[in-house]
Amino acid sequence: MDLVLATGNAHKVREIRALCEGLPVRLRTLDEFPGLPAIVEDGATFEANARKKAQAVARATGRIALADDSGVEVDALGGAPGVYSARWAGRPGDDAANNAKLVAALRDVPEPQRTMRYRCVIAVADPDAVLFTAEGVCAGRVLLEPRGTNGFGYDPHMLIPEFGRTMAELAPDVKNRISHRGRALAACRERLEALIRARGALGLNFEPGLADNPHVP
């Protein structure tokens, strides 16, 4: 059966595909459903945004959807940028501008005090309801100078102390194992697999009554 990844971020799609390896499911992406309405991420928490995205995509496609919302919380900045991480500098998805703003904000803060955590909430929904959520956290410190070329977003500035490397310096398999997104998916994988097997056994590729949905190919 199908599981729609409710994100337009190609980096996230690649990570989630790797993390879902072995699940008895066909992963589908938003570009396979042209014309889906835009989703305004206006929640005050990662969970609120994840739930909203998963529910909206599940309703629009008639399929089970998995969404995540994630970002960086910096203690010296009172938890900012938080839910605004992707658009903190004002331009959604502008990694360079977001990182420049982060470095400027922390320029006078000593490294031991530049503690941070990545936080991710994953939500899984069908067209009728959000079925479950799970959270993952990965803590570290902010570096003012970027290191590494893997990853995306704030990864080059996020030092993970137990490895002595930034997220952008870690091999993909290591990052997927210890990242906030990897931990969130691991926390819900058993429930997700049980859901997929149960719905697949019933032959439910989409919910009754949604077969005429114009977004369902």
d(C-alpha 8, C-alpha 175), whole Å: 21
pLDDT in tens, 112-152: 999 999 999 999 999 999 999 999 999 999 999 999 998 89
Q: What is the pLDDT of residues 133-144, one digit of tens each?
A: 999 999 999 999
- The residues annotated with a catalytic role in the active site are 69
pLDDT in tens, 206-216: 443 343 444 44
Q: Reduced to 3 states, what is the DSSP secondary structure of residue 127?
A: coil
CATH class of 2-201: alpha beta
pLDDT of residue 92: 83
CA proximity to 53, closest of 76, 34, 36: 36
Tokens read off for 140: 């570290």
Supply the pTM of this predicted model: 0.88
Q: Is the dihedral of CA 208, 211, 212, 215 positive or negative?
A: positive
Residue 82: pLDDT band by 50, 70, 90 thresholds?
A: very high
Residue 213 CB: number of other CB atoms within 10 A?
A: 17
Domain ranges of the chain: 2-201
As a whole number of angstroms, the distance between CA 171 and CA 168 comes to 8
Check residue 1 and give its pLDDT: 82
Q: For position 148, what pLDDT does the model report?
A: 96
pLDDT at 201: 61
Residues 65 and 125: beta-carbon distance below 8 Å: yes
As a whole number of Å, the CA-based R_g of the chain is 18
